[in-house]
Amino acid sequence: MTLLAVERIKLFTTRSPWWCALVALVLTIGFAALIVGNSNEIAPATVASTQFGYSFGMAVIMVLAALSVTTEYRFGTMRTTFQAIPHRGSALIAKTTVVALLSLVIGEISAFGSLGVGMLLKPNADLALNSGADWINVAGVGVIYALAAVIAVSVGILLRHSAGAIALLMIYSLAVESLIQLIPTIGEKIYKWMPFNVADKFLTGNGASNAGRATGDGAPMSTAVLGQGWALLYFAAFAVVLLAIAVTVAKRRDA
């Protein structure tokens, strides 16, 4: 608990988490207002369409998570941390836990905030959470944000440089997975197992929360072959394995 308290203090005494949280909320809720505000009888507002901007908010969350590590390496405070806590794994896991919990909270606020804005803009639309698919599409955003934060912290530990870590995370999550589909013959097969594509499958399932509207107007439909539960486990396993690799590397090199 002491390590968690220390990491919480270190995180919240810097400005970047506050700014990143604000930007993530503005992006996700802003996109919800834009999509729902432009809905009509032909393309009605749905629970999924209120979550259209979650991927943009997730990108900001990963920036926040990466910076929580790389700034410590940049200013040398990580060396002090490792001197005070010889067991580097404990310190890094505590940091990851704090960042993941913050990301979970931001994700839930942004998801339910987006849904609330949709209800305000279109009070007659069917935006009630009437099914498990609806609940997962909204409440699941925070879970995905938390796991994405674990991935970003891991990349930050491995690279130790803010620009490099952020560039890699943004390029991969926003472009690389989609571009893999262009590989002849095997591209589509590989894409079905890409982590962020699988994460989308957890949120959207078979599209039940987007009924009545074009799938492109909600959270992205996934081509992953796993069911929703297995998709979450797959994404979580990817995050945990990457963190384990990062912690192992951190233990073996100079701070």
Which residue shows structure tokens 């749905």?
A: 46
pLDDT at 211: 54
Burial class (CB in 10 A: 0-12, 13-18, 19+), 48: buried
**For residue range 25-82, what is the model confidence (pLDDT) as tens digits?**
999 999 999 988 887 777 788 888 889 889 999 999 999 999 999 998 888 888 888 8
Distance CA(39)–CA(35), nearest Å, equals 6
Number of H helices, E strands in the chain: 11, 0
**For residue range 148-173, what is the model confidence (pLDDT) as tens digits?**
999 999 999 999 999 999 999 999 98
pTM: 0.91
Distance CA(62)–CA(149), nearest Å, equals 5
As a whole number, the mean pLDDT across the chain is 87
pLDDT band at 215 (very low <50, low <70, confident <90, very high): very low
pLDDT band at 144 (very low <50, low <70, confident <90, very high): very high
What are residue 50's phi and psi, to 5 degrees? -70, -20
The structural domains of the chain, with segments of one domain joined by +, span 2-252
**For residue range 186-202, what is the model confidence (pLDDT) as tens digits?**
888 898 999 999 999 99
